[in-house]
Amino acid sequence: MKYTVITGASSGIGYETALAFAARGKNVILVARRLEKLEELKSTIQGLNPSVDVIVRTSDLSDTEQAYTLYNHLKEHQIETWINNAGLGESAFVADHHLGKVQTMLRLNIEALTILSTLYVRDYADVEGAQLINVSSALGYVIAVGSVAYSASKYYVSAFTEGLAKELELKGAKLKAKVLAPAITETEFLNKSLDTEAFDFKANMSNYHTAKEMAGFMVNLYDNDEVVGMVDHNYAFNRRDPIYPILSEF
């Protein structure tokens, strides 16, 4: 049996992506910290498509060791697609940062993503149909004043994934690496970034996407050959070739 791994699956884009892949008959491995939310999602998926196998794994990926543990526990399964969706934000000027929160964000957005991407590439580079999709942000391509640390962490995700895609291409690997760059999306993410309980998107945002819409963009990127799937300043979704300049000489 082949599986799609989705981190950060308990809510938002990860939750809707799990539903979207399961709707296609894909077996899924759901990863997040909140077991009760994962179990609820599992029940929902099995109610919609009983033939889909759903595996739940709890993990706090801001703890570097747990990233290794998660991957090692999943080595017994054949993983067709790995989606690094889990992420954390920080909305404050640098001088006002809560450094503990920023450290957690960097471990999750950068360290865990790099570890899981690297381990997956090592095992699946030559597996036909394998895909790695890393979730960055539109702020991984433009610096946002007031969210500089978050923006920089997503610059890393974008550059890392685009560069990885080029390395795989140069080696003739079968695995494809791709990056999804959402803009503002109606999820719990912004609540956590702003340290608020209920951010009112309709009252405060002229443009945004729903998590379900973003999951649709994820599937669109999955189905096509381009490396980057990005929401632009007009909130239109576009697939395109790598954006960062790449030096490919060894």
Interval 127-150 mean pLDDT: 95
Please name each of the domains of the chain with its CATH number: 2-240 (3.40.50.720)
Q: Does the pLDDT value for residue 49 go beyond 60?
A: yes
| Spatial separation of the C-alpha atoms in residues 193 and 189, rounded to whole Å | 6
Q: Note the pLDDT of residue 109.
A: 97
Q: Does the pLDDT value for residue 249 go beyond 90?
A: no
77 and 1 in contact (C-beta within 8 Å)? yes
Q: Does the pLDDT value for residue 186 go beyond 90?
A: no
| Whole-number CA gyration radius for the chain | 17
For residue range 57-89, what is the model confidence (pLDDT) as tens digits?
999 999 999 999 999 999 999 999 999 999 998
Q: Does the pLDDT value for residue 122 go beyond 90?
A: yes
Closest CA to 147 of 181, 97, 87: 97
Catalytic annotation, residues:
150
Q: Note the pLDDT of residue 209.
A: 78
**pLDDT band at 206, cuts 50/70/90?**
low
Cα dihedral 91, 133, 112, 75 sign:
positive
- Look up residue 12 and give its two tokens: 């938002």
**pLDDT band at 233, cuts 50/70/90?**
confident
Beta-bridge mates of residue 81: 4, 131
| Spatial separation of the C-alpha atoms in residues 121 and 107, rounded to whole Å | 20
Q: Note the pLDDT of residue 89.
A: 86
